[in-house]
Amino acid sequence: MKTWTIFKRELSSYFTQPTAYAVIIIFGLLSTVLAFAFGHFWQRDDASLGAFWQFLPLLLMILVPAVSMKQWSDENSSNTIELLGTMPLKMNSAVMGKFLAAALVWLVTLSLTFPMVWAVNHLGEPDNWIIASGYIGTFLVCLTFIAITTFVSAFTRDEVVALIVSVAVCCLLSLVGFPEFINLARQADATEAADIMTKIGIYDHFFQATTGKINVTSLLYFCGLITVCLVGTNLVLKSKRS
């Protein structure tokens, strides 16, 4: 019930300010531009969203922290954390409420990219299950980046610091698994390091999802990261008060 109250407040804060609208428009524009200009959507001659998925982690690693950077840093700087901390409310309800509100913003943002799905269905006969799997993978990446930003923002009262550190962490998680970096590691005969980079990086788990292969390992990877970050947020908020 308290989670629901926090969720509603956060959601209305996203939509009464330009934040949600800005992210929907910017994400929609950039993801389409990247898919057509750099992903070579037309040249691929393929009824799939491969070109669309290709650059999404790069876009999300900046836009997701930009949306969520205020989550706790704002509460810390405006001292409303003191108000929340003296309400009959468990802090994990507040953490969850804020996380779910940001998740819904991204669910709406992703669902508004439906013209891409319509376009490939109009042009050919894509496997819509694979497309659905890609969307699930993208949403899991969004949730993971939201959780990371939530965790980072709990440490600071400065939202710019929260943004920079969150982007850095998300960037690291995205780039460490990028094929170019994995290949560099393999060329340097660091096969074990390359394997570890593949496992800890987001790219491979995301790429598997975009090809219709969401496996248990990937699910555990995403859910594990999200859980660790949210539990960590709760602990940071508690320890800051002691």
Partner 1 sequence: MIEVTDLTKTFGPKVAVDNLSFSVKKGEVLGFLGPNGAGKSTTMRMVTGFLPVTSGKIKICDIPMNWRPNAAKKKIGYLPESAPLYNDMTVQGFLKFCASLRGLGGPKRRHAVDEAIETCFLENVARQSIGTLSKGYRHRTCLAQALLHDPEVLVLDEPTDGLDPNQKLEVRKLIKNLGKDKAILFSTHILEEVTASCSRAVIVDQGKIVADGTPAELEAQGGGSLYDLFHKVTTFETPADKSEEPAA
Q: Is 5 an interacting residue with respect to partner 1 (CB under 8 A)?
A: yes
CA distance 181 to 75: 38
Q: Which stretch binds partner 1 (CB under 8 A): 78-86, 109-117, 138-146, 164-172?
A: 78-86
- 92 near partner 1, rule: CB under 8 A: no
Q: Does 82 bind partner 1 (CB under 8 A)?
A: yes
Q: Contact between 44 and partner 1 (CB under 8 A)?
A: no
Region for 236 from its dihedrals, namely left if φ exceeds 0, alpha if ψ lies in -120 to 50, beta otherwise? alpha
Does position 22 interact with partner 1 (CB under 8 A)? The reply is no
Provide the token pair at 33: 């531009």
Give least dist CB 25 to partner 1, A: 20
Interface with partner 1, residue 80, by CB under 8 A: yes
Identify which of residues 122 and 241 has a Cβ nearer to partner 1 in the complex.
Answer: 241
Q: In the range 213-242, which residues lie near partner 1 by CB under 8 A?
A: 240-242
Phi, psi of 97 (to 5 degrees): -60, -45
Stretch that binds partner 1, among 3-11, 26-34, 50-58, 121-129 (CB under 8 A): 3-11
Q: Which is nearer to partner 1, 6 or 170 (CB)?
A: 6
Closer residue to partner 1 in complex, CB, 138/153: 153
Residues 147-166 that bind partner 1 (CB under 8 A): 157
The distance of Cα 42 from the centroid of its chain, to the nearest Å, equals 27
Distance in Å, CB of 217 to partner 1, minimum: 39
Contact set with partner 1 (CB under 8 A): 1-2, 5-6, 9, 12-13, 16-17, 76, 78-90, 157, 240-242
